[in-house]
Amino acid sequence: MNAFTLLKTDHERVAGILASIEETTERAVKGRDELFTRLKQELDLHAKIEEEIFYPALEEAEETREVTLEAYEEHRLVKRMLAELEAEPKDTEEWTAKFTVLKENVEHHVEEEEGEMFKKARRILSEEELEELGTRLQAAKKENRAAAGS
Short-list 11, 82, 77, CA closest to 50: 11
Contact 114, 11 (CB under 8 A): yes
The pTM of the whole model exceeds 0.75: yes
Query: Residue 14's domain spans which residues?
Result: 3-148
The total domain count for the chain is 1
First-last CA distance in the chain: 22
Full pLDDT tens readout for the chain, 150 residues? 899 999 999 999 999 999 999 999 888 888 999 999 999 999 999 999 999 999 999 999 999 999 999 999 999 999 999 999 999 999 999 999 999 999 999 999 999 999 999 999 999 999 999 999 999 999 999 999 998 875
How many residues in the chain? 150
